[in-house]
C-alpha cells in the first residue's frame, strides 16, 4: 500500500531549537558500524564468487572493547590492546562448498582499520574474537526459496527524509573536513576520533567539537594549547562558509584545563578513545545518512552489518532516505519529504506492508498536484529493488 499525504508540521529549519550530532571516523561506535559493514560487504562478495548470490548473514552484533594505554607528552605506549568482538550469524557451508567466514571477517576488519586509522596497527593494537554461527533454519531458508526478490526476514519499520537542514549539513561537512586526507596532511597531530554536536537556537549556531591531539607530536602542555588555538581558528574559518547563521560559536575540547598536565588535555596514542577510554557498539552511532538528528524521526534498527538481500532493517532504512531524496529532487514545490516504510516478515521486500510519503509543500501547492508522481517514484524504486540490494551488498551505499 502506498499513501502520499501532507506533512502537518514545520520544516526543521523553522523550529526555534535544533540539535544534530555526528560521530566521526575514529569514534568507537563509528568503528563498530563501519567494520561490521565492511565484513558484510566482504562476505557478500565471497558468497557471490562461490555461489553467484548473496547468502544469509547478519554481522550486526559487534563490540569494540577499550584497551589500556599510558600516555605522556611526546609519546606513550599501549599496555593492553583493544578487542573487537564480531558476532551474530553467517553461512559457512552450502551445496557442499565452504567459505572461511572467520578469516574473511578478520581480514576485512584489519583492512578497514589500516585504511582509516593512521596510528592503529591492526595486528598489534587489536585482538579479534569471532563468535559467528550458522543462522536458524527458517531464516536461512529465505535464501533458498524461489524468486528473484527475497522475503523480509522481519516485521520492521524505517524512516528517511530529505533535504538536510543547514545545521545538519554543517555538522556532517565539518566532521568530514576534519577527517579528510588534506586536513590530516596539514594537521597530522590530530586524531580521527572526532565528534561534532551542533545546537541551533533560531539563527545562532553553537558547535562543540571533540578531537584528540596525538601524544607523540605534542611535547608539552604549552605546545598542546598553542596547537589547539591554531585548530580552533581553522575550524572557525571553515564554519564561516555557512552563511545561513547570523552568529556562530565554536567550543573545542571543552574538558581541557590549563595547569593540570595530562589530566587537563585530550591526548591520544592511536587517534581513537577506544585505546583506553571508551568502548563501542554497533547501532549506537550515526543513522544511515551519517547523522543523529534529534528533531527528526529516527528508527531503532542498527543497519550496519545486516544482510542486504532480506534484512529490511538495513534495506528499508537506506531505501527510505533514497526515495525521500528522489521525490524532493524530481518534483517541484516541495520543502521537505519524510518517507516511512513498513515490512511484514515473510512478504517479498518489493511489496511493503505500507509505504508513506509525507510532503511539506511550498505555499500554493496542493497534495493532489504531486501525489501521483510520488507514487510512481515508489513503484519505480520497488521494481528495481533487486539491483538495489546487490548494490547495497557491494558497498555502494554508505551506512554511517
pLDDT above 80 (res 87): yes
**pLDDT value of residue 149:** 85
**pLDDT value of residue 96:** 87
Query: Is 0.75 surpassed by the pTM of this model?
Result: yes
pLDDT above 80 (res 148): no
CB atoms under 10 Å from CB of 34, counted, come to 25
Q: Is 275 helix (H, G, I), strand (E, B) or coil?
A: helix
Q: Is 348 helix (H, G, I), strand (E, B) or coil?
A: strand
Q: Is the peptide bond before 110 cis (omega within 30 degrees of 0)?
A: no
pLDDT above 80 (res 349): yes
Residue written as cell 543547514?
Answer: 166
pLDDT above 60 (res 137): no
Mean pLDDT of 76-88: 97
Question: Which tens digits make up the pLDDT trace of 219-254?
Answer: 999 999 999 999 999 999 999 988 889 999 999 999
**pLDDT value of residue 222:** 97
**pLDDT value of residue 94:** 87
Mean pLDDT of 343-356: 95
Question: Which tens digits make up the pLDDT trace of 157-198?
Answer: 999 999 999 999 999 999 999 999 999 999 999 999 999 999
pLDDT above 70 (res 140): no
Can you give the C-alpha Rg of the chain in angstroms?
23
Percent of the residues in the chain that have a pLDDT greater than 70, as a whole number: 97
Mean pLDDT of 372-398: 96
Is residue 82 very low, low, confident or very high in pLDDT (cuts 50, 70, 90)? very high
Mean pLDDT of 122-128: 98
Strands 334-342 and 354-361: what pairing? antiparallel
Strands 195-201 and 17-23: what pairing? antiparallel
* Bridge partners of residue 351, in order along the sequence: none
Is residue 300 very low, low, confident or very high in pLDDT (cuts 50, 70, 90)? confident
Query: From CA 317, how far away is CA 154, in angstroms rounded?
Result: 13
**pLDDT value of residue 141:** 58
Query: From CA 280, how far away is CA 285, in angstroms rounded?
Result: 9
Assign 3-class secondary structure to 126-153.
EEEEEEEECCCHHHHHHHHCCCCCCECC
Per the structure block, which three cell numbers stand in for 336? 521537505
Percent of the residues in the chain that have a pLDDT greater than 90, as a whole number: 90
Mean pLDDT of 262-288: 96
Q: How far apart are the first and last CA of the chain?
A: 29
pLDDT above 80 (res 357): yes
Domains and CATH numbers, the chain: 12-24+165-275 (3.30.300.340)
Is residue 293 very low, low, confident or very high in pLDDT (cuts 50, 70, 90)? very high
Rounded to the nearest integer, the mean pLDDT of the chain is 95
Amino acid at each position: 500500500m502506498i499513501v502520499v499525504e501532507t506533512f502537518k508540521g514545520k520544516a526543521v529549519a523553522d523550529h526555534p531549537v535544533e540539535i544534530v550530532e555526528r560521530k566521526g571516523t575514529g569514534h568507537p561506535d563509528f568503528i563498530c558500524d563501519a567494520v561490521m559493514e565492511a565484513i558484510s560487504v566482504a562476505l557478500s562478495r565471497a558468497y557471490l564468487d562461490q555461489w553467484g548470490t548473496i547468502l544469509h548473514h547478519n554481522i550486526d552484533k559487534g563490540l569494540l572493547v577499550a584497551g589500556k594505554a599510558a600516555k605522556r607528552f611526546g609519546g606513550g605506549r599501549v599496555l593492553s590492546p583493544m578487542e573487537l568482538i564480531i558476532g551474530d550469524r553467517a553461512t559457512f557451508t552450502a551445496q557442499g562448498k565452504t567459505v572461511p567466514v572467520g578469516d574473511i571477517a578478520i581480514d576485512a576488519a584489519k583492512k578497514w582499520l589500516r585504511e582509516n586509522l593512521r596510528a592503529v596497527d591492526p595486528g598489534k593494537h587489536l585482538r579479534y574474537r569471532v563468535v559467528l554461527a550458522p543462522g536458524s533454519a527458517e531464516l536461512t531458508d529465505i535464501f533458498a526459496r524461489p524468486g528473484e526478490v527475497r522475503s523480509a526476514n522481519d516485521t520492521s519499520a524505517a524512516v528517511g527524509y530529505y533535504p538536510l537542514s543547514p545545521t545538519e549539513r554543517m555538522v556532517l561537512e565539518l566532521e568530514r573536513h576534519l577527517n579528510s586526507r588534506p586536513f590530516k596532511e596539514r594537521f597530522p597531530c590530530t586524531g580521527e576520533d572526532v565528534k561534532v554536536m551542533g545546537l541551533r537556537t533560531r539563527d545562532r549556531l553553537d558547535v562543540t567539537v571533540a578531537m584528540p591531539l596525538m601524544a607523540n607530536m605534542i611535547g608539552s602542555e604549552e605546545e598542546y594549547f598553542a596547537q589547539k588555538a591554531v585548530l580552533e581558528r581553522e575550524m572557525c574559518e571553515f564554519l564561516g562558509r555557512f552563511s545561513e547563521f547570523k552568529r556562530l560559536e565554536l567550543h573545542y575540547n571543552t574538558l581541557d584545563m590549563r595547569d593540570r598536565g595530562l589530566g587537563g588535555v585530550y591526548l591520544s596514542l592511536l587517534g581513537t578513545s577506544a585505546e583506553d577510554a571508551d568502548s563501542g557498539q554497533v547501532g549506537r552511532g550515526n543513522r544511515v545518512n551519517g547523522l543523529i538528528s534529534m528533531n527528526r524521526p529516527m528508527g531503532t534498527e542498527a543497519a550496519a552489518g545486516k544482510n542486504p538481500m532480506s534484512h529490511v532493517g538495513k534495506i528499508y532504512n537506506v531505501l527510505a532516505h533514497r526515495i525521500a531524496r528522489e521525490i524532493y529532487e524530481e518534483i517541484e514545490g516541495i520543502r521537505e519529504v519524510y518517507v516511512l516504510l513498513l515490512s511484514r516478515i515473510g512478504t517479498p521486500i518489493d511489496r511493503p506492508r505500507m509505504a508513506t510519503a509525507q510532503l511539506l509543500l511550498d505555499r500554493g501547492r496542493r497534495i493532489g498536484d504531486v501525489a501521483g508522481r510520488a507514487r510512481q517514484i515508489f513503484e519505480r524504486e520497488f521494481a528495481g529493488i533487486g539491483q538495489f540490494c546487490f548494490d547495497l551488498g557491494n558497498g555502494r551505499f554508505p551506512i554511517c
